[in-house]
Amino acid sequence: MAKRILVVEDNDLNRRLFCDVLRSQGYAVEPVADGLDALERARQFVPNLIIMDIQLPNVSGLDLIEAAKQDSTLRTVPVLAVTAYAGKGDEERIREAGAEGYLAKPISIGPFMQAVRALAG
């Protein structure tokens, strides 16, 4: 059975790119554009990995990671954070929130897939 990945990304182009690349590698993908829908969709989809944009409208990806790690259904699901804001201390803050992986945008496909495989198993 294909590993399941929830992609939380508000940018249409990035979301489509992540989903297309993941599907081409045999993953079952559930795209989410609005962070407000992310946790509910994750509970329904029960992913093996959550790819989480940090800069989302309405809610911070950091807050979503923290909420997922407090949720009994989602706490064991690894999170790969992706963000365009890769400043000093950002990776540390993101990992402290509970993310197991971190990539700065722009994303290169090789390192992206390497991180996905490492986290999704």
Question: 109-120 and 12-24 helices cross at what angle (nearest 10)?
Answer: 60
Q: Determine contact, residues 65/94, Cβ cutoff 8 Å.
A: yes
User: pLDDT tens digits, residue range 53-66?
Assistant: 999 989 999 999 99
Question: What local confidence, expressed as pLDDT, does residue 53 receive?
Answer: 97
Q: Where are the domains of the chain?
A: 4-120
Q: Determine contact, residues 89/81, Cβ cutoff 8 Å.
A: no
33 SS3 class: coil
Q: Which CATH superfamily is domain 4-120 in?
A: Response regulator (3.40.50.2300)
User: pLDDT tens digits, residue range 30-39?
Assistant: 999 999 999 9
Token pair in block for residue 103: 């990539």
